[in-house]
Structure 1
Amino acid sequence: MYRIISEISPDFLIQGFALHQDENEIYVGKVGGQEVQLLASIDNLNSDEKDIKIFCVGFAEADHHFRSGDVLMTGSDDLLDRAFRAMDEMEQRGVVVSLTPPPDSKHLYVSKEQMDPFVQDWKSRKLSFLCLWMMEPIDSEGQAKLITILRKVILKD
């Protein structure tokens, strides 16, 4: 099961994945036979589940290290590999970032303090996860790119 958490208004995810509300008023759907669930907030994520894959999508503030349209990402190796392959097919630039300020200047860093504890927890529990952030402002083309990347990553299962 894929769980999606969005910092952006989730309408583009609901439309892009053709999600519908279930009896619990949670948006659900299927992509290539894989179940997808959109969570209203990261607090709704049941951290005890084992066989889940977590996607977070959102925005990053403009920074001199990144170009407009860049997709910044962090995640588990399995989903990062898939994301890189998907972006190669799309000729989309993806940049792996750290959420904590690096001790040296060789690593790129994006300020996402509220996400860092979750990411550290997912890493320590060896969960599959992928966080994708686009530079602000995110237009409809950027939203379509995020949907395409996520769809390609899910379809690799």
Structure 2
Amino acid sequence: MHIKEHFTRKKIIDNLARYELFYQVALGSLLKSDSNKMSNDIEFQLALGSIYELLKDIQDFEDFDEIYETELSKQSAMDAVQNFVNENLEAVKNSEIKVEEIINDINDNKFFNQTMIDICNDNLQSQLQKWEHIITPQLALAIMQSLEELEKQQ
């Protein structure tokens, strides 16, 4: 598997759409009340970096195609937890919010329940359309060029 295969315009759109859905659903499950106001928007450069690192980590796995989406969901959820912790640091420090169990559930692939998966599946098409408008052919080319530069440095 070549990393560049996952950074064509079509794959960028698909990866970002799925990443954002997993991220938003994970963050939604963390925000138990309206008192926790956080943006559920992702920063696409950070998301692309996270996707890139995930691809680098699992690129040589024989079962890559079978595990990729699960690993993407886990990475998205972990990023959501990290941002949630950053926004609620005092509550985490005071043990008002316990994240260890959440992190364990993510790592053990027990975090996303069927309802959460259904929400992701139901909203995938609209997310794909959103990212189709954002990731223009020119932007996809710029992303690919940045990726090539990054790969040269490693």
Task: State the TM-score, normalizing by the size of structure 2.
Answer: 0.29
Structure having greater relative contact order (Cα 8 Å, sep ≥ 6): 2
Task: State the TM-score, normalizing by the size of structure 1.
Answer: 0.28
Larger radius of gyration: 2
